[in-house]
Structure 1
C-alpha cells in the first residue's frame, strides 16, 4: 500500500514544545461522494495554532491540522460529478453539513449543528494527501498560484464574512483590530468598497503594512481612531480588544468578533453599548462565502505577503505565528520526490 507524509497532532502543547509529529500514513481512498487530493500548499491559520496549543479543544486525536488546502484531484469516489481528476481545487474550513436543518435550508450552513470542519473533525492539509467531500471543494483558476490561493480559503473567506456581519457599507468608516492574514485580506476588500479604514494593531511593522494597503490611520491598541467608526472587526483573540473596538463605535455601530476562541472580555458599562451599538460573533463560513471570495480575489486583486515553509517545518511555522514573526500569512508547501 502506498503512503504519504503528514504532520500529526497527538497531544496539544505549546508551539515551542513542537506539538506536531512527522508521520508516514497509509493512503486512504475516497469514499462515495469524496475526492482524494494531492496537496500542493496549505495555509497555517491561528486556529491551527490554537488547536495545537490546546486553546481550542480538539474534536478528535490524533488529527492532521490544516484547513486552507490547495491541491490537485488525484482520485474520485463513487457518484462524484462536477470534479475531474487533475483539476486544481481548494478545501476550506467547512467540510460537511447536514443540508436538511433550518440553518442549511436558509443559507446559513455555517451554523449547522451537524457540520464538520477540516483539520478539526476531519484530517486536514498538513500532509501530502487529503480527502474531502466533492461538494465542499472549490475549483481554482489556473493562473492563481497555490501558495497565494491557500490563505484566501480561510483568512480571506472569514474576513469577507466578518465584513458582512459588521454591516459595513461602501464608503463607511471601518475599524480593524489586529492585522494578520485575515485582516490583510479584509482591508483590501474594504478599500475596494471605498471604505475609510482605521487599523489598531500591536506592532509598528503591521501598522506600516496597513498604511501601505490603504489604511487612513494606524495605531496601537492603546490608541483610539480619530473618528467614530460605523463598524469594526476584531481579529485579535484578546477580550480587551473587543471593548476597545466597542468604545470606538459611533451610535448604531457594530463590532464583529472574528474569533473561534477568545479570552475573557472584561466587564463593561452598559453605557458603552447604549445608542444601539451591537456586538456580534462571526462563526465559520459558508461555501458561498468561499466562492465569492475566490471571485473577489481575482477582481480586486487580493494580495498578501506570504512566508513559506516546507511540510517538515510545520512546527516552526506555528512557533513563528505564536511569536508574531510572520508578516501576512504562513503557508506550508509540499514537495514530492
Structure 2
C-alpha cells in the first residue's frame, strides 16, 4: 500500500510504500476511493493540535470499499462502499458514552490522529464506527466531504437551535462545511447569511448560487439581525463580530476543533442572553441523521481533486484559502 505520512509537525508529508495491513478482530480493511482534506488535518500538520501518535497518516473523511473483514465482523460485505469519519472509537463505558454523548468520550480514538487515516491507498477502521453509504451520489470524491464537513456542520446546525427559533442564520468562513450547510439550512426553510474573507467575491457568488439570501465579508454587518451564527473559520476575532450580528437571545456556535485566541470584548456584546457554545467531534447518531437527510436531499458538493501524492499541495491550497468547497485526495 501507499500512504502519505506525517513524521513531525510542520514537515511535509512523505510518500511511503508499506505492507498492506490485515484487519484485526472487529475491524475492516478498506481500499480508499477518496479522502477529503479537512482543516483539522491542517491543524494536525501545522502543529496546532498536540500529536499523540507519530508517525501518522492523516485523513478522516474516507470513502472506501471493503476488501477484507476481521474476525467477528458482521453487517458488512466485501465490495461494500462505506465511510470512515473522525470518530474512530469510543470506550462505551464512561459517563459521556453512557449518556449518549460519545463525542465527549474520555478515551476516544480519532481517525488520522490516533490511528492511521485515509491519505493512503488502504486503511484499517473499526467496523462499529464505519458508515454504510446508501446515497444517490455515486462519485466518491463528492461523498467524502460529507463525512466531516457535513457531519460537523450538521451537529453545529443542531446546536444553533430549532428552525422555528433560528430562521436567520449566519455562517462565518465559507468553506467545505458552510457550502454544505447553506444547502441544508435553505432546505429547512432558513435564511442564510454567508460571511467570507473580505473581498472574496468568488466565494460570495458561490454562496448566493447555493441559496444564501446575502453574502459579504466577515468585516460587514448583515442587513438583518441574525437569530444564530456558526463559525467554521478558526479565527477567534470573529466571535465578537458574530455576537454583534446576532439578536437578543441569539447564539454563536464555534464549530471548529481549534481556533485562534478570542480577543477580549465588552460584556454588552454577550448581555441580553446571547450565548457562545462549541461543538466537539460527532456521534454516530449525528452521522445517521445527516446521511439520511443527504439521501432525501441531494447536495451539490463542490470539490477540487488531487492525486494522493499531491497531498502537500492540497494542504497548501487549503491553508492559503485557494479552494472553493472541499479538497479531496483520490488515490
Shorter-normalised TM range: over 0.9
Q: Superposed, which structure 2 residues align to 1:1-337 within 5 Å?
A: 4-13=1-10, 19-141=12-134, 143-144=136-137, 145-170=139-164, 172-202=167-197, 203-334=200-331
SS class of match (2:125)? strand
1:100-142 CA-partner distances (Å, limit 9, x unpaired): 1221122111001111100011100000010011100011126
Contact 1:168 1:230 in 2 (8 A): no
| Alignment partners' CA distance in 1, 2:259 and 2:60 | 20
Question: Normalising by structure 1, what TM-score?
Answer: 0.95
Question: Normalising by structure 2, what TM-score?
Answer: 0.97
In the comparison of the two structures, how many residue pairs are matched? Answer: 327
Contact 1:109 1:286 in 2 (8 A): yes
Quote the offset at 1:298 in angstroms.
2.1
Quote the offset at 1:168 in angstroms.
4.2
| Alignment partners' CA distance in 2, 1:142 and 1:255 | 31
Contact 2:84 2:129 in 1 (8 A): yes
In structure 1, runs of 5+ residues without a counterpart are none
In structure 2, runs of 5+ residues without a counterpart are none
| Alignment partners' CA distance in 2, 1:95 and 1:264 | 28
| Alignment partners' CA distance in 2, 1:26 and 1:40 | 19
Quote the offset at 1:19 in angstroms.
1.5
Contact 2:5 2:15 in 1 (8 A): yes
SS class of match (1:182)? helix
| Alignment partners' CA distance in 1, 2:52 and 2:34 | 24
After alignment, is 238-247 or 169-178 more displaced? Answer: 169-178
| Alignment partners' CA distance in 1, 2:69 and 2:274 | 49
| Alignment root-mean-square deviation, CA | 1.1
1:220-240 CA-partner distances (Å, limit 9, x unpaired): 111001111111000110001
| Alignment partners' CA distance in 1, 2:52 and 2:188 | 38
Contact 2:163 2:189 in 1 (8 A): no
